[in-house]
Amino acid sequence: MYIVSKKSRLSGNICVPGSKSHTIRALLLASLAEGTSCIKNPLPSADCLSTAAAVPLIGADVDLSLSVEGEPGTEWVVRGAGKKVHLPYDVVNVGNSGSLLYFLSPIAATFSGASVFTGDDSIRSRPVLHVVDALNQLGAESFVSCPDRNGCPLIIRGPVKSGVVRTEGEVSSQYVSGLMMAGILIDGGIRIELSNPKETPYLTMTQKWLEKVGVSCFISDDFKKIEVKQKKDLKSFTTVIPSDWEAVAFPLVAALIADGSKVVIENVDSSGTQGDDKIVDVLKSVGGNIVWDKSSETITVSSSRLSTKTLPGGELHVALSSFPDAVCALSVAACFIEGTTVLEDAAVCRRKETDRLKVLTVELTKLGVEVEEGEDYLIIHGHSPVLSDGSPNPEFKLHGGEVKSYGDHRMAMSLAVLGLGLPSGEVVVNDAECCKVSFPNFFEVMKQINADFV
């Protein structure tokens, strides 16, 4: 499937779906709990549905409240396995979900016996040797099926024992969250020492979820020491999943760069548990007309001339280690910012669904963007389509073209958003259907605010 994106004037109100990160944590913890949990406003994305399909393998039961047409409902009911939770009784195919892979594999390692994890082509190219090392420190026998590759299939033979895991933490926060959840099931709990923690807001999110279900969890101020105590009687719960800040980024950037636009984003999560909300301050620093009303949980965004002129050194510097999933949306915004944008401390972006630093460089270059790629950074020399007096900017060279998503949902949505801000021309995004991984019906929802997607 391909999508053609053209200049648009966006207007109206839009709601983004629930958080993928929260939904997957809710499903896993509800599966470990005794009794019945209710998850309201879950994200019915491919990754979350992969999780819902996986947790019955450890003894839980999930009712997705399917409609007559087979669409998941807005309230999911999980009957937890509780004390009867067990080793996955079949191979766990995580589909495209790195979260599911890195969360559930440490949990599986707490049981006697062997478990096998695999997934699609993208998952089988994502690193897992850091997981192998962490679990083996606790006494597991873990290895990859292909010794010359750092990827799934991943085989784990447990059980792990209580102890200290020493690991960098920079490859991803997800396996650290997985270790934290595994601590619930380990007699004596678990201690984790991180030498270089990254994506730390997600560790805080996991901590808050553990505390919600009655688990004692400590994280030091520098995130280098974590301790989780065993909890034999995990509490079931009812929860409402907040909106997904990773999804908010796309209509937010679209409204800023599409000339003459004004959009209200509703049901915005103002709890501070999602690190990606930092994107608001980043974009406001370059002149983004953004009003976040936390009392009404709305963000109002109007198209703006963006510039780094007032920033120190005349450059925008964004350290992405705590919210790396914003790299695609911010890279597109940077194309329309007058001045230089440096997206740094971003090495983790190379280990997502694809090497995002590399593919952003390739695809944005096709569209006339001046990009410099480094080991852990991107430098984008952007231009506003208009000068400060409102006249056309002769330095703005961005143009249409045909680009690839590489099967990466955030690449697909970001590149489609870019086309909405072009003064002329169109962007053709190939393999755009991958958006369903995190934002089902993205194109249909954006069309409701007049996005010209064909």
Q: Which of 269, 277, 325, 408 does the annotation list as catalytic?
A: 325
245 phi and psi angles, rounded to 5 deg: -65, -30
CB contact at 8 A, 159 and 109: yes
- Phi, psi (5° rounding) for residue 99? -60, -50
Q: What is the DSSP letter of 86?
A: -
Other CB atoms within a 10 A radius of the CB of residue 187 amount to 10
Distance CA 418, CA 57 (A): 41
The encoded tokens of residue 305 equal 């001339």
Q: What is the 3-state secondary structure (H, E, C) of 205-247?
A: HHHHHHHHCCCCEEECCCCCEEEECCCCCCCCCEEECCECHHH
Judge whether 20 and 244 are in contact, CB under 8 Å. Answer: yes
User: Do residues 115 and 156 lie in contact, with contact meaning Cβ atoms separated by under 8 Å?
Assistant: yes
Host H or E run for residue 142: strand 141-144
How far, in Å, CA of 286 to CA of 308, rounded?
5
129, two tokens = 């040797």
For 294-323, b/e burial (b = at least 16 CB within 10 A) is eeebbbbbebbbbbbeeeeeeebbbebbbb
Q: Rounded distance, CA 49 to CA 54, Å?
A: 9
Q: Which two tokens stand for residue 429?
A: 């995004």
Q: Are strands 75-79 and 36-40 parallel, antiparallel or unpaired?
A: antiparallel
> What dihedral angle (degrees, nearest 10) is formed by the CA atoms of 167, 173, 205, 293?
140
- Are the CB atoms for 344 and 317 separated by under 8 Å? yes
Contact of 371 with 364, CB cutoff 8 Å: yes
Dist. CA 373–CA 368, nearest whole Å: 15
Whether 325 is a known active-site residue: answer: yes
**If we measure between CA atoms, which residue out of 85, 83, 143, 137 comes closest to residue 116?**
143
Tell me how far apart the alpha carbons of residues 241 and 51 are, in angstroms, rounded to a whole number. Answer: 15
Please list the active-site residues: 325
